[in-house]
Structure 1
Amino acid sequence: MPLPRNSASTTNSYFVSHELCWAKTTRDGSPGINVRDHCMNVGCVAEKMLDLVPGRMREKRLPQGIAALAALHDVGKVSPGFQSKCSQWLVRHGLVGRVNDLWPADHAKVSQWTVEQILGKPGLREWAAIIGAHHGKLKGRLSEEPWEDERQRLARELIDAFGPLPDKPADDAVLWFVAGLISVADWMGSDERRFPQEARWNLNERRRQAGEALRSQGWKRLSVRQPLSFQQLFPSCATANRLQEAALEVIVRPGVYVIEGPMGCGKTEAALAAAYRLLSAGQATGIYFGLPTQITSNRIHERVQPYVERISPDAEPVHLIHGSSWLMDASPPVEPGMAGPDGEAAEHAHAGRSWFASQKRAILAPFGVGTIDQALLGVVAARHFFVRQFGLAGKVVILDEVHTYDWYTGTLLDVLVKRLRELDSTVIILSATLTEERRRSLLGLDEGQPVSPRYPLVSGVDGRLVEKTCEAEGSKTVCVNSHTDRIRAEDVMSQARLGACVLWIRNTVEEAQETYRVLQGARAEGGPPVALLHSRFPYFRREQLESDWMERLGRDPARRPGGCVLVSTQVAEQSVDIDADLLVTDLAPTDMLLQRMGRLWRHERSRRPVSRPEIWIQMPPLDVAQVSALSVDELLRALGRSARVYSPYVLARTFLLWSGRPSLVLPDDIRPLLESTYADPDSESHALSELKKRLDQDREKMARTALNATAVWSIPALADEEEVQTRYGACKMAQVLLVRRIEPVDARTVRLELLDGSNVTASEGGWSLETAKALHRNIARVPRGAVKGLLANQPGWLKSQVYQPTAIGILRHDGALVGAEAGTDTGLSYHPDEGVRIRRDRVRLEPWEEDEYLD
């Protein structure tokens, strides 16, 4: 019951023993589990999690008191500001009107204050700060808060149970690792299915339940079959090739490594084989495979899953992580308890569900595949960035196609690699088209330090620089056909009619859609099929198209059409197993052109309808001699829309290098072409010099902005979403839910017929995994500017199921999409073979919004 105090203050006249303070509410809003029991549960989970941390990191890097810190995370709930949030609790204890809610209600900040008082030394304040951050972001400091004596009494009980707090400062890598562990322990310790609110267990029983909770999530020491040969790891490979042998020779301990080799030479298998060696030796705890786009992540996931099943007898499914991958999960394995009326605590509970029931789980699972953005969010000021650092610690992190990133994302990548090494992870970087300068940066070498110019090459730093060269497995001569006139759809269709499977890559969605329509106009009835791939389809339709065409144009000849044209954006540029007979492409930087060529004659075939591998490049309408006479504006106009996607300077340099070139030999010409494209020439025209100056300024700005984004101690945490801070100047995107019909059921509920024909009921305030999945499968991404007028009045039922800004588009019979309010004209339309189309006569976009191309 309330205990009196000698004070005239209404707020301080009464305090409540911590045993009577609630931590979570029940479903009906009544006080539930008390603060002490919840803190004990979380401390026990943290103990079990620490048992799974590799011994070398636990013994060399982690101080005492981690479990105690985790237990102390919610002592701040013993405070009048927090307790007064539950009206039933106030009534139960006769404190209505006696304990007011004027005191700070931010219990995480109060916890930070109490722990800071216990630690005492100013140099230890960071330990208290990470407790205050357990809801995902750093807090400021308090100067006073009532009921401190009760919080101190609870803290002493917890410290008696879990041991003394840290007594020494730690570096950022350790601090954020521990912060991540505390947040995850809190989520798992809040799972009511494992820790019922009514349970009153002793400490030993709580520890037993904590162990069960971890095992139910697949958290256990990884079991690895050994020894396995290369063929046992990859049954389709009889033996390791020369590059794969070099990788196994170099990658023998944790470090940072770069594997460089031509497209399609088996770099993925080389990295996975090296990862298996480290897992077998107990030098790694799992694998995360990061790629640049959703489609590349999906394809690699299909290859990694059987590999994991071969190496581990009790492997969990390989989790996939990107903006849409959570749709593959079956059910949410964690159900955090109700946080009561505390808005931030409720948001934290949602975050726990989000991490365990969504794509983010791949970061925490032993084996995960996803976009590199998900790893980069671990080093920028995004909510719960430290959970990602915790999840990647000790793993083999494989980063593919790193050449695709600009200086902003590249700078973040350098920071990530450094932090991963501090977390005892191994980083393996794969690329076919890396410059020597970029390789030095990724390996952490000094500028100008000599490195081998050979290719293919495996290099690494594990305390010293190690380099191993090898001979390429073979060579391929590719005919280069540069077109300064517009490439005619009829010419492309003629090749398809002769039986060629043509891949035509455009640099923007808009141009890809235009090309598809022109090709359809040139296609005679019964002629070769024409298809389109890009990122502006709803998820269910994109999944259908990708699966169909990756299979048709893959290794197996059984479904290969007798001629076709697949039009695509950059989603088919790299890390996908597409084998084209002829490649048609817009001008792009040299490294991107080389990557696109990796889809050309990718597999050995006994017969092809064309006599040689050939690439047609759509060049700007110029000849080389004209470039030196053009002004900057004239050159930009000539480069067209592609100059809004890629650096105009690099495009111009690529144009000069590739124009008139009749052929190239792969892989012999890869390194020389790359270095020539990015080398500083002795002299250039005025326009090129000006564009180079702008590029250098942009790079400096991007690098500075990226480093600012990593200042996690000093800037507010932004949304935990891809592209929010991981891509520079990326076109801001929004979502459109595509439906056929919406029928009101009552004031809070609607019945929907979705674009894919499914029917669901959605209610305001009633989140359902099944409903959320159904809606997300019918969502397409578009430039935010195309729907900004439709985002203001998002209905409550939609907000309850979809947490990102989402407009509604109702499909009419003519393909037009209208808004939910009185059939508002959106200026958008939809076609199942073209995706969402933006009608430029109805929708005005800024230049930077016109050409979204990121996946």
Structure 2
Amino acid sequence: MEEPREGLGGRLVGPVRSVWAKHDRDTEGWLPLWRHMADSAAVAGLLWDNWLPENVRALIAKALPGGARDARLLCVWLAAVHDIGKATPAFACQVDQLADRMRAEGLEMKTRRQFGEDRRIAPHGLAGQVLLGEWLEERHGWTARQSGQFAVVPGGHHGVPPEHGQLNDVYDRPHLLRTPGPSGKLWRRVQEELLDACSEEYRVGARLCAWRAVVLPQPMQVLLTAVVIVADWIASNPDLFPYFPQETRGGEERVAAAWRGLRLPSPWWAEEPVGDAQELFASRFDLPPGAKVRPVQEAAVRLAREMPVPGLMIIEAPMGEGKTEAALAVAEIFAARSGAGGVFFALPTMATGNAMFPRLLDWLDRLPAQEGARRSVLLAHSKAALNDEFADLLRAGRQTIAAVDVDAEAERWRPSDERRSAPAELIAHAWLRGRKKAMLSSFVAGTVDQLLFAGLKSRHLALRHLAVAGKVVVIDEAHAYDTYMSVYLDRVLSWLGAYRVPVVVLSATLPAARRRQLAQAYAGAGGDAAGFDSVDQSVTYPLLTTVTPGQAPVVEGPGASSRGGEVRLERLDDGQMVLADRLAVELDGGGCALVVRNTVRRVLETARVLRERFGDEAVTVAHSCFIDVDRAAKDADLLERFGPPEKADGRRPVGPHIVVASQVAEQSLDVDFDLLVTDLCPVDLMLQRMGRLHRHWRGEGQAERPARLRTARCLVTGVDWRGEVPAPVRGSVAVYGAYALLRSAAVLLPHLDGPKRPVRLPDDISPLVQGAYADAPVGPEEWSGAMAAARERHERHRADQAGRAEVFRLDAVGRPGRPLIGWIAAGAGDADDTRAGRAQVRDSKESLEVVVVQRRADGSLATVPWLGGGRGGLELPQDRPPAPAAARAAAGCGLRLPIQFSHAEVMDRAIAELEELYVPAWQVKDSHWLAGQLILALDADCQTRLAGFSLRYSETDGLEVTGD
């Protein structure tokens, strides 16, 4: 049934109504182009009114003479005309019966076969950009430069703005846009009728003259493109917008029903919190009775309120000073003042993302209730569905996207009993799932890769920019990102500054030069002002730095809390037996020690020796080569036994007990030990490790610790100290490089030699870090030759990292008015949260991830036997998909194979061997947990061979690799 003559369709008669936009080969249903244009425009208007955050709307409005009114008109109009390129022979010929319908109306065209491959030169997005540009220039007197900045939005609505060469190819082949001869005039008339009708229906005709003088900044072009993409995707969903001839409703009813069926959560409308910092923190966080906000937290709240407009805030403070809580408090103030509609908390690893997610939910629970508010939340990493808290939200928020009967009442959404209660509903919205849409959720905790992808030339990059542009962005552990990642981070910060996105950067401390780089990247063109000298000249610690684009930064040292203390450093010769002997002395009266090694191999070697000396029950191992469920259990166990006294009361070992860990112990674990032994590492990481030493008070004067261990001590090993220049062990050099290790040793010498002055926390944190990362020489004169050689290698490596990162890095923000043509030319394709995808923004070789299962004696497969909750030993049949519970349990046993398997030849051989266990029954849609996964089957003794290596796995020690 045809649409009643109303709205856009009511303005059109004749051949134009035969032009098609959508077709379903299964049902033979179809959708006229005018109907899809009207649907898209209506959705864009609803997105503008009900979904886009206020700061995004304000940014678009700022560039237009009519402000917010013009911005909405432009957004709706661009959504309406985005598919005008479908009114071309190159597109219309694709479905014979629909092309015949158009031919019957006089719109002649070649068949698809007659066009051949030539047709692909004019995909409908590219054709749409050409047609819209022509219309603006020929009918309204615009120049090509003026039209390009608007027409590029339809041109890029399939994720990739066109390049100049592609546009020239279309200009050279006009037959792809209009059939030559008399029929070409009818094609032109149809195209102009559609564009004229959209201009009239969406009331932009009278504004085109004013818009002709507009200089549209590139960030606004990106945001408009992203909104059009979202509107197009929603309007293209046949469950929401059914095809003809089944559709019988008018336009308004059709759109209203679709919007009820979609039920997108609205953005967060933050209100400026009242009261002082103490009142704010007491209402948002679980403060112990009588606890006072710390100076850093109080200063961060005050500065956030004093900034002329929200911008960048860098918070540098010691471990345990409450930087996370400060960031969330500042985010709330920034959101209220800027109109941001959510928060993205970017963390260095999946493990830290998992740890942050429940804290984010708890904070959301405590925000002021907003009647009827539904807040979309996301845990953003590749294994988020295995996180129990996020999985609960997925189940509770599950909804089928389907058209709603217009005559029926809208279904009332009710939370399930298993979902957490909250003043406002927290949901993982069904439509927002998937790698390209998920980041559009309002509240996100995830890996920093998701943020770095915004600086990577990749398809649908505009959607990632829309996702971050509407939020306050928090970047945690900023010191943890190497040169390669920093190249992307700095470029992303420059775009965030252009979008006026509020950003909070957290770090225990930053090298002064790096602090300035971050500040100048965000400030953009204003970042070279002399006022930025204060950013890298301050020696105060803790330190807060704020940047408002166009103004000089503000630097303030709020002072530290009374927390802290002294740590005495000692050298310890390397050697497993040396370590065992020393620990036997130190732990003679009990106590808990943490031994941090720089490689997994050293962790396992150390644990083996210590177990022989102290017994199996006295040694715990923690490193990155555990299956996912075991790694999560390890973190939980460490927190339970070695966490804060109020949380681990009664469960802390009396001792002696030793935890042997890799770098997983450095961050995001609130654990506390009596003694620390650590391999030499870069000094900022050394300080992070020290943050696990005497982290909490245990009785007056630490009286609850063994008498020998009441003074905090750190034994530095992993080095041959006997030579003229210290020689770190090979594994440490491979991980960190000799230069960083030597400079770390050099700045620590005053604490290791002579009077052995203790490291005072937090007073010595900044001097140590600045000394290690400055350009000035450090260390004894006799080190100078080794230091110079190490520096040369270090600089070559950094230059290599920066050069390789530049290959796919997004260009800087272009001058205002420059169209986004070629914006992501020579890009990386799709950016996704796979190991290969993450390798694009991290300087790491692509590594293999496997799912670990066990092969029984009879050849059958099962989940590994030690999994708790009844998940161990579940059958994994090979002739059919496993039961959902078994498949999810198996998927939770993901394991990243170590560096040995990242070398090209070894990786190829390993993949070939792993693919021998290919189970076709697991590749179906209903078995999504295991589809496409590489399966590593262990024998009954949890051992196997792979690519010439022997692999052994245990619940206590994780993966051990020996062999070639």
Normalising by the smaller structure, the TM-score range is 0.7 to 0.9
Residue 424 of structure 1 aligns with an amino acid whose one-letter code is: R
Residues 1:269 and 2:369 aligned together: no
In structure 1, C-alpha distance between the alignment counterparts of 2:31 and 2:636, rounded to whole Å = 48
Percent identity of paired positions between Structure 1 and Structure 2: 28
Alpha-carbon distance in 2 for matches of 1:135, 1:265: 46
Displacement, 1:839? 3.5
TM-fit CA distance, 1:588: 1.0
TM-fit CA distance, 1:245: 1.2
In the alignment, which residue of structure 2 is the partner of 1:713? 824
1:560 alignment partner, one of 642, 652, 659: 652
Q: Would you say 1:465 and 2:513 are equivalent positions?
A: no
Q: Partner of 1:56 in structure 2?
A: 58
Q: Give CA-to-partner distance per residue, 1:381-429, whole Å, 9 cap, x none.
A: 1332221210111422111111111222223222222211221211111
Does the Cα contact within 8 Å between 2:470 and 2:501 map onto a contact in 1? Answer: yes
Report if the CA contact (8 A) 1:188-1:334 is conserved: no
SS in 1 for 2:315: strand
Structure 2 counterpart SS, 1:428: strand
**Conservation of the 8 A alpha-carbon contact between 1:25 and 1:31:** yes
Determine whether 1:260 maps to 2:258: no
CA separation in 2, counterparts of 1:84 and 1:769?
44
Are 1:104 and 2:102 an aligned pair? no
Q: How do 1:622-701 and structure 2 match up within 5 A?
A: 622-623=721-722, 625-626=724-725, 638-659=728-749, 660-661=752-753, 662=756, 663-682=758-777, 685-701=784-800
2:844 aligned residue: 730
Over residues 453-478 of structure 1, what are the superposed CA-to-partner deviations in whole Å (9 max), with x where a residue is unaligned?
A: 21112121223322222221123101
Aligned to 1:319: 378
Measured at CA, do residues 176 and 741 of structure 1 come closer, stay the same or move farther in structure 2, by a change above 3 Å? Answer: farther
8 Å CA contact 2:678, 2:714 repeated in 1: yes
- In 2, Cα distance between equivalents of 1:694 and 1:802: 44
Equivalent residue for 1:807?
A: 934
CA contact (8 A) 1:256 1:443 kept: yes
Match of residue 125 from structure 1: 148
Contact residue 737 and residue 808 of structure 1 kept, 8 A = yes
Q: Which moved more, 1:669-678 or 1:730-739?
A: 730-739
CA contact (8 A) 2:593 2:673 kept: yes
Q: Deviations over 1:261-289 (max 9, x none)?
A: 11111111122112222334454322111
Shift of 1:599: 1.8
Equivalent residue number for residue 838 of structure 1: 961
Bigger Cα displacement from structure 2, 282-291 vs 697-706: 697-706
1:217 counterpart (235, 240, 264): 264
Change (3 A) 1:356 1:284: closer
Residue 593 (structure 2) pairs with residue 478 (structure 1): no
When structure 1 is superposed on structure 2, of 769-778 and 170-179 the one drifting more is 769-778
Are 1:73 and 2:172 an aligned pair?
no
Q: Could you tell which deviates more after superposition, 179-188 or 86-95? A: 86-95
The aligned residue for residue 424 of structure 2 is none
- Conservation of the 8 A alpha-carbon contact between 1:21 and 1:83: yes
Whole-Å separation in 2 of the counterparts to 1:360 and 1:66 = 21
* Conserved 8 A contact 1:580-1:599: yes
User: Structure 1 403/742 Cα, relative in aligned 2: closer, same or farther at 3 Å?
Assistant: same
Code of the residue aligned with 2:555 in structure 1: it is E
Contact 1:255/1:421 (CA < 8 Å) preserved in 2? Answer: yes
Task: Name the amino acid aligned to 1:816.
Answer: Q
CA distance in 2, matches of 1:481, 1:97: 83
Give 1:496 shift: 6.2
CA distance 1:603–1:807, change in 2 (3 Å): same
Q: Cα–Cα, structure 1 residues 67 and 557, in superposed 2: closer, same or farther, change >3 Å?
A: same
Residue 40 of structure 1 and its aligned partner are, at CA, apart by 3.0
What SS does the corresponding residue of 2:725 show, helix, strand or coil? Answer: helix
2:720 corresponding residue in structure 1: 621
SS in 2 for 1:386: helix
Q: Is the 8 A contact 1:30 1:89 kept in 2?
A: no
Residue 186 (1) aligns with residue 188 (2): no
**Residues 618-651 of structure 1: CA deviation (Å, up to 9, x unaligned):** 2321346335xxxxxxx6xx54122222132111
Task: Check the 8 A contact 1:293/1:371 in 2, yes or no.
Answer: yes
Partner residue of 2:711?
Answer: 612
AA aligned to 1:246 is A
2:748 touches 2:768 (CA, 8 Å); kept in 1?
Answer: no
- 1:460–1:466 Cα contact (<8 Å) kept: yes
Aligned residues: 790
The partner residue of 1:41 within 31, 39, 51 is 39
SS in structure 1 at match of 2:831: coil
When residues 245 and 161 of structure 1 are mapped into structure 2, their CA distance, relative to the original with a 3 A threshold, is same
1:232-276 per-position Cα deviation (integer Å, ceiling 9, x unaligned)? 112315332211111112112311111111111111112211222
Aligned residue in 2 for 1:235: 286
Residue deviations 1:135-180, cap 9 Å, x none? 3334433334245545554444444444548644422222222222
Matches of 1:768 and 1:92 in 2, distance apart?
49
1:297, 1:369 within 8 Å by CA — same for their partners in 2? yes
581-590 or 801-810: which moved more? 801-810
CA RMSD of aligned residues (A): 3.9
Give the C-alpha shift of residue 806 in structure 1.
4.3
Task: Quote how far apart the aligned CAs of 1:181 are.
Answer: 2.2
Query: What secondary structure sits across from 2:534 in the alignment?
Result: coil
Q: Deviations over 1:827-855 (max 9, x none)?
A: 544333333443333xxxxxxxxxxxxxx
Q: 1:620 to 1:531 in 2, by over 3 A?
A: closer
Contact 1:376 1:726 in 2 (8 A): no
Q: Residues 323 and 132 of structure 1: is their aligned pair in 2 closer, same or farther, counting only changes over 3 Å?
A: same
Per-residue deviation, 1:333: 6.2
Q: What letter is aligned with 1:571?
A: V
Please identify the structure whose Cα radius of gyration is greater: 2
- Counterpart amino acid of residue 48 in structure 1: L
Asked whether the 8 Å contact 1:43–1:70 carries over to 2, the reply is yes
Q: 1:752 to 1:85 in 2, by over 3 A?
A: farther
The runs of 5 or more residues in structure 1 that have no matched partner are 2-14, 338-351, 628-634, 744-750, 842-855
Q: Return the letter of the residue paired with 1:40.
A: A
Cα 1:376/1:130, change in 2 over 3 Å: farther
Written as runs of structure 1 = structure 2, the 5 A alignment for 1:4-403 is: 19=18, 21-25=20-24, 28=26, 30-51=28-49, 52-54=52-54, 56-61=58-63, 63=71, 64-79=73-88, 82=91, 98-100=111-113, 102=116, 103-105=118-120, 106-120=123-137, 121-123=143-145, 124-139=147-162, 140-141=166-167, 142-143=170-171, 144=174, 145-146=176-177, 149=188, 150-164=190-204, 167=212, 168-197=214-243, 198-209=246-257, 211-212=259-260, 216-222=263-269, 224=271, 226-227=273-274, 229-236=280-287, 238-252=291-305, 253-281=309-337, 283-313=339-369, 314=373, 316=375, 318-327=377-386, 328-329=390-391, 330=394, 356-358=432-434, 363-403=439-479
TM-score by length of 1: 0.82
Secondary structure of 1:780's partner?
strand
Equivalent in the alignment of 1:848: none
| Contact 1:505/1:584 (8 A) holds in 2 | yes
Unaligned runs of 5+ in 2: 2-13, 65-70, 138-142, 179-186, 403-427, 521-526, 812-822, 865-871
C-alpha separation in 1, matches of 2:217 and 2:930:
34
Q: Describe the SS at the equivalent of 2:724.
A: helix
Q: In 1, distance between residues paired with 2:855 and 2:159?
A: 38
What are the Cα deviations for residues 76-107 of structure 1, in whole angstroms up to 9, with x where unaligned?
44555555655786799999994436253544
| Cα gap change, 1:221 to 1:621, in 2 (>3 Å) | closer
**AA aligned opposite 1:450:** S
Structure with greater proportional helix content = 2
- AA aligned to 1:575 is S
For residues 86 and 771 of structure 1, the distance between their equivalents in structure 2, rounded to whole angstroms, comes to 44
In structure 2, do the counterparts of structure 1 residues 115 and 493 end up closer, same or farther at CA, with 3 Å as the change threshold?
A: farther
C-alpha distance in 1 between matches for 2:639 and 2:546: 33
